[in-house]
Homo-oligomer: A and B are copies of this chain.
């Protein structure tokens, strides 16, 4: 039988928005999704231009998110959208995701999941109540070599884990561009739209999610230093934290957006009793494994020795580099498979959203206190 693409609606992501375009490319790459409807911008001209540029039926370029929900719900089941991608500023994630779920649509939501742990809990409950799928754009966990790392640790190759070091260094906020008119920078440093954490919420959450996801361990307590380096900025642009994991592993987490000259330096290192591993997002097709008793190994995307779980996330043979869009597309591909009821690989979702909200709240509480450690409530989600 002829396989049809799933239909995706999008809220946010008007022309010029970085992350909306990435969602569209990621969704398109494997032919599993087609953008069919959208409410891309509250600027009606920009909204219309985006829809036209994407080849949408003008009827399905909606003026508002609510209009999209209503309009699509009124279409026949085999025509209306299957899912909605929420790619707005942070403060709209939770209310829109909840409304979309309640209207019967699956949701692929940008991170952070919400502005607070309470909002995240509300999403969790709505997912539970509606039975709809909810995916969260922790894109970096879509990389094949991250899956390799996770699998290796899960099967005990490194022995019991002792050290987790994660860092995420960017430099783009080294100057006060948020105060000087850069739109991306402006909303990401505005507490009303970004949330309680600046750098912490924007990229610290990526680092935290990756650390827990790959190590397979929950962080129990955090000690943190949260800083605003650029005068006049309203949210932190730099965070350093010590982490204590269940089982005794110790961690460090460093995230900064004022590491001048750095691009998108997400790096993870984990050591266990018998060896360690290292992965860096900017050269994502390599995983270095170091051993106590034999030479280091370079495990490569598509190369010999790669675990099956990682191989499934690749599209090309060894030596043909896959990157950020492919990692993102892995999430969309698996999200589609889950919706279709087919075998699917893991997709980040509600549990990751809840954990990262708890982390953000714990860091903020700790940084404002004189106490060494603040617990992160394990919650019920894991």
Complex contact A325–B322 (CB within 8 A): yes
With A55-B4, A324-B316 as contacts: A250 and B227 at CB distance below 8 Å: yes
Chain A residues touching B, range: 35 or more
- A89 close to chain B: CB less than 8 A: no
Please report the C-alpha to C-alpha distance between residue A144 and residue B206 in the assembled complex, in whole angstroms: 27
- A308 close to chain B: CB less than 8 A: no
- With a cutoff of 8 Å between Cβ atoms, the chain B residues found around residue A74 in the complex are none
Complex contact B25–A315 (CB within 8 A): yes
- A274 close to chain B: CB less than 8 A: yes
- Chain B's closest residue to A266 (CB) is B319
Residue of A56, A170, A296, A316 most packed against chain B (CB within 10 A) = A296
Q: Which of A16-33 touch B at CB < 8 Å?
A: 18, 21-22, 24-25, 28-31
- With a cutoff of 8 Å between Cβ atoms, the chain B residues found around residue A290 in the complex are 171, 260-262
With A162-B229, A238-B163, A250-B225 as contacts: A261 and B292 at CB distance below 8 Å: yes
Stretch in A65-73, A186-194, A369-377 touching the partner: A369-377
Complex contact A171–B271 (CB within 8 A): yes
- A179 close to chain B: CB less than 8 A: no
- A358 close to chain B: CB less than 8 A: no
Complex contact B165–A254 (CB within 8 A): yes
Q: Chain A 1-12 against B: per-residue CB contact (8 Å), 1 yes, 0 no?
A: 111110000000
With A323-B320, A323-B322 as contacts: A260 and B240 at CB distance below 8 Å: no
- With a cutoff of 8 Å between Cβ atoms, the chain B residues found around residue A339 in the complex are none
Complex contact B171–A282 (CB within 8 A): no
Q: Which of A209-256 touch B at CB < 8 Å?
A: 223-225, 227, 229, 238, 240-242, 244, 248, 250-252, 254, 256
With A295-B300, A324-B316, A371-B372 as contacts: A259 and B240 at CB distance below 8 Å: no
Please report the C-alpha to C-alpha distance between residue A373 and residue B366 in the assembled complex, in whole angstroms: 12
- With a cutoff of 8 Å between Cβ atoms, the chain B residues found around residue A292 in the complex are 171, 174-175, 260-261, 304
Please report the C-alpha to C-alpha distance between residue A294 and residue B45 in the assembled complex, in whole angstroms: 36
Please report the C-alpha to C-alpha distance between residue A195 and residue B225 in the assembled complex, in whole angstroms: 29
Complex contact B250–A252 (CB within 8 A): no
- A283 close to chain B: CB less than 8 A: yes
Please report the C-alpha to C-alpha distance between residue A164 and residue B304 in the assembled complex, in whole angstroms: 23
Please report the C-alpha to C-alpha distance between residue A378 and residue B263 in the assembled complex, in whole angstroms: 35
- A326 close to chain B: CB less than 8 A: yes
Q: Chain A 279-296 against B: per-residue CB contact (8 Å), 1 yes, 0 no?
A: 001111100111111111
- A258 close to chain B: CB less than 8 A: yes
Residues of A within 8 A of B (CB): 1-5, 18, 21-22, 24-25, 28-31, 35, 51-58, 158-159, 162-163, 165, 167, 170-171, 174-175, 223-225, 227, 229, 238, 240-242, 244, 248, 250-252, 254, 256, 258-265, 271-276, 281-285, 288-300, 302-305, 315-326, 369-373
Q: A260-B291, A296-B300 are in contact. List 15 more A-B contacts (CB 8 A).
A: A2-B58, A25-B29, A28-B29, A171-B292, A174-B273, A258-B271, A259-B271, A260-B274, A261-B290, A261-B291, A262-B271, A294-B304, A295-B297, A298-B298, A316-B325
14 pairs, A vs B, C-beta closer than 8 Å: A3-B53, A25-B30, A171-B290, A229-B248, A238-B250, A240-B251, A260-B271, A260-B274, A263-B303, A282-B285, A295-B304, A320-B325, A323-B323, A370-B371
